[in-house]
Amino acid sequence: MKVGIDAIQFDIPKLYLPISTLATHRAIEPDKLIKGLGLQKMSFLDVNQDVITLGANAVFKLIEQENINLASIAKIYIGTESGVDNSKPVASYILNLIESKFGENSLQNCDVVDLTFACIGAVDALQTCVDYIRLNPTKKAIVIASDNAKYDLNSTGEYTQGAGAIAMLISLNPKIIDFSKETGVATSGVFDFFKPKQTIQKEAITGKTTNENWFDILESEITIVKDQPIFDGQYSNACYINRITEAYNHYKTESKQKEIIFNHWELILMHLPYCFQGRRTFIEIFAKENQELLDKQEGASFKDKMKALTKSPEYLALVQSKIYPSEIASGEVGNIYTGSIFLGLLSALYYSANENSDLTHKKIGFIAYGSGSKSKVFEAEIQPDWKNSILKTNLFETLENRTAIDFITYEKLHKKELKSAVLQPKNEFVLERIENDNPLLKGARYYNFIE
């Protein structure tokens, strides 16, 4: 039984900040970010956009593209780490928006939920839905990855920002890829990157020692929730390397393969918090699988040999053929957390389709990662009709047709100082307002579709 991705679509903000502009204003040599990390553009949300509009727009495009009968959709599972509510899931908002376009109660019998595990949450959603379709082959599911990767101004993560959503139709006999049943997993509970609920004493804000009512907060402390994470870059990178290596080894065990698995992968898809993260970290797996080649490298120490191996013809050839195709869109968009690995998949396949590559029945490898931390490694087989389905997305053309913003506009958007949208929306869902007055609906978010 073949189960996998039958169709795919995406939504990326129409605004972007050129990385060269950010570099100049942060006194960073542009080539350090462009040539060193592979960054070109940073997608950024407009005033009337959020992860709900991104996800809904991606699903809307998918439904229209495939003329999907919503009665056949049993599940809409969402992977995100950018939720807007501690209780009401992003999935319920998106369901409501889709019904507003395709008919009231058209998804009434659809199971929806959010899954959160940092950047790997959408992979968890995907695998859950794939398993469901294997048990219920007449049904279909939609998996959405929607996130806003926002970092503090002047932080070391600022230049990796991005936003976007990927929507995937999961079905029996898929047109694009069929997933393997085996998965390698590695998990460890660490604090490499997280978004905690922080607190501040009310006295620090009000200046009063008495605990008085402050905007309906009766507690003496106030909870602060930020979009921006707490993270340790070097430690997070080490966790990334450790987990993907452990998961890769576990996948070899689970799939009962003893040879070098990635030699059979035509493409390697990895979570890309920045464009070149994959090529910079996969070297660890490459080295362990090519000990003799590592030993032949020049250098007195292991570190020297590893550095030489990254520049070896063998590794550079692997990067160019198996990893580079997935990097193209990442460099143009930035990090989109749960969607990054799937943007890489779309990028690699769209590039390959444009190159007229013959990928039918070729194997591709997925190396997913989520901080906190967990990695999953699995593979898929490309199906005969992959090219026709992928070309429907117009990925590169869409990325080319976006609007650059200047640095002042970027900082105002980041600080949420702008009150009106930079661009006039067209054929998309937008955030209309957030209720602030009605005590029974305070904080409720309302959306609209602009023709």
Q: Assign residue 126 the CATH number of its domain.
A: 3.40.47.10
Domain boundary among 183, 203, 228: 228
The stretch 55-83 carries a mean pLDDT of 97
pLDDT value for 366: 98
DSSP H or E stretch at residue 249: helix 233-254
Q: Are residues 216 and 268 in the same domain?
A: no
Torsion of CA 108, 113, 114, 117, to 10 degrees: -160
Q: Are residues 292 and 224 in the same domain?
A: no
pLDDT tier at 394, thresholds 50, 70, 90: very high
DSSP SS3 for 24? helix
Percent of the chain topping pLDDT 90: 98
Sign of the alpha-carbon torsion through 176, 101, 423, 157: negative
Helix locations, 319-447, DSSP H: 324-333, 340-354, 386-391, 395-400, 407-414
Work out how many domains the chain is built from and give that number: 2
β pairing state of 403-404 and 445-450: unpaired
The stretch 3-29 carries a mean pLDDT of 98
Distance of alpha carbon 31 from alpha carbon 378, whole angstroms? 34
Q: Are residues 325 and 425 in the same domain?
A: yes
- Residue 447 above 90 pLDDT? yes
Distance of alpha carbon 351 from alpha carbon 6, whole angstroms? 18
Q: Containing domain of residue 159, as a range?
A: 3-192+232-450
Q: Are residues 340 and 309 in the same domain?
A: yes
Report the chain's terminal Cα–Cα distance, integer Å.
41
Q: Are residues 292 and 184 in the same domain?
A: yes
- Residue 9 above 90 pLDDT? yes
> Which pTM does this prediction carry?
0.97
Largest pairwise CA distance in the chain = 72
Q: Are residues 325 and 199 in the same domain?
A: no
pLDDT value for 19: 98
Tens digit of each residue's pLDDT (9 = 90 or more) over 163-185: 999 999 999 999 999 999 999 99
Distance of alpha carbon 451 from alpha carbon 442, whole angstroms? 28
Q: Are residues 213 and 241 in the same domain?
A: no
pLDDT value for 397: 98
The stretch 212-235 carries a mean pLDDT of 93
| Stated length of the chain | 451
164 pairs with which residues across the strands? Answer: 147
Helix locations, 266-421, DSSP H: 277-289, 291-296, 302-310, 313-318, 324-333, 340-354, 386-391, 395-400, 407-414
β pairing state of 140-149 and 162-172: antiparallel
Tokens of 191: 């604090």
Q: Are residues 278 and 183 in the same domain?
A: yes
Burial of 267: CB neighbours in 10 Å, binned 0-12, 13-18, 19+: buried
Torsion of CA 209, 210, 216, 220, to 10 degrees: 60
DSSP H or E stretch at residue 184: strand 184-187
Domain boundary among 211, 228, 245: 228
Q: Are residues 334 and 206 in the same domain?
A: no
pLDDT tier at 258, thresholds 50, 70, 90: confident
Q: Are residues 209 and 288 in the same domain?
A: no
Q: Are residues 199 and 84 in the same domain?
A: no
Sign of the alpha-carbon torsion through 224, 229, 234, 240: positive
Distance of alpha carbon 279 from alpha carbon 284, whole angstroms? 10
Tens digit of each residue's pLDDT (9 = 90 or more) over 269-280: 999 999 999 999
Mean pLDDT over all residues of the chain? 97
Q: Are residues 325 and 218 in the same domain?
A: no
Any idea which of 58-62, 200-204, 272-276, 366-370 has the lowest mean pLDDT?
Answer: 200-204
Strand ranges inside 86-139, DSSP E = 111-115
